[in-house]
């Protein structure tokens, strides 16, 4: 059970969050002019939302690692 939950958590928490949230924000950031009004406004949005999803991704990956380690020793 630990292996299954750990695998699903890693897949959803790491890969799916990256694909659904972080990559689109990175692509949008790369497309705006850095010193334009749009670029400055987007950066303010980007830094908060990207950091939030990156923290979720980090916690999910750590939890998945813990569960997978438990699966290995049990």
Distance of CA 68 to the CA centre of its chain: 19
Is the model's pTM score more than 0.75? yes
Domain span holding position 58: 2-73
Q: What is the pLDDT of residue 22?
A: 94
Q: How many independent structural domains does the chain possess?
A: 1
Q: What is the pLDDT of residues 15-73, one digit of tens each?
A: 999 999 999 999 999 999 999 999 999 999 999 999 999 999 999 999 999 999 999 99
- Taking the C-alpha atoms of residue 18 and residue 13, their distance in angstroms, rounded to an integer, is 8
- Taking the C-alpha atoms of residue 53 and residue 1, their distance in angstroms, rounded to an integer, is 26
């Amino acid at each position: 059970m630990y292996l299954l939950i750990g695998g699903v958590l890693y897949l959803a928490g790491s890969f799916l969050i990256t694909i659904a949230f972080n990559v689109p924000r990175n692509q949008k950031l790369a497309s705006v002019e850095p010193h334009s009004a749009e670029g400055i406004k987007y950066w303010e949005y980007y830094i908060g939302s990207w950091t939030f999803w990156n923290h979720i991704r980090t916690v999910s990956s750590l939890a998945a690692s813990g569960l997978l380690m438990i699966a290995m020793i049990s």
